[in-house]
Amino acid sequence: MKFLDNKIITFATTLLILMLISNNSYSNSLNIKLLMIDDTGCPFCELWDEEIGSKYSKTEEGKLAPLIRHHYGTKLPDKIILNSEPIFTPTFILLEDNIEKFRFEGYLGEEFFWSFLTEYLQKLVNKKK
């Protein structure tokens, strides 16, 4: 039953985000971006590229939080403010107005990625209500 409850919550959350994203002026006003810290030869970065990379920008989440890729170890633009330096690749950081709000490290598959991203996007969207 707990598995079913999690699926229902995930579905409802995704539906809420999709409804909010459908109003483009609202989603543009949020100024959210997804920063991905990657590295050459990182097998988990390559797996993310294979499973999600080419379709991310076409998803509703990708429209709400456009992807910025950044190579591990290089200096970030001064306008981006992080809570701490990334240690692992890939690291995904949700930025609001170029300030870190949420972070999740590693890539363990599509379900892991989408569940964390959806949860954190929902928190940012709910905060703006």
Q: Mind listing the domains of the chain with CATH numbers?
A: 2-128 (3.40.30.10)
Rg, the chain, Cα only:
15
**The length of the chain, given as a count of residues:** 129
The single-letter DSSP state of residue 92 is E
Q: What are the pLDDT tens digits along the chain (129 aa)?
A: 555 566 665 555 554 455 544 444 444 567 999 999 999 999 999 999 999 999 999 999 999 999 999 999 999 998 999 999 999 999 999 999 999 999 999 999 999 999 999 999 999 988 776
CB-count exposure of residue 107 (10 Å: 0-12, 13-18, 19+): buried
Strands (E) located in the chain: 32-38, 67-71, 91-96, 99-105
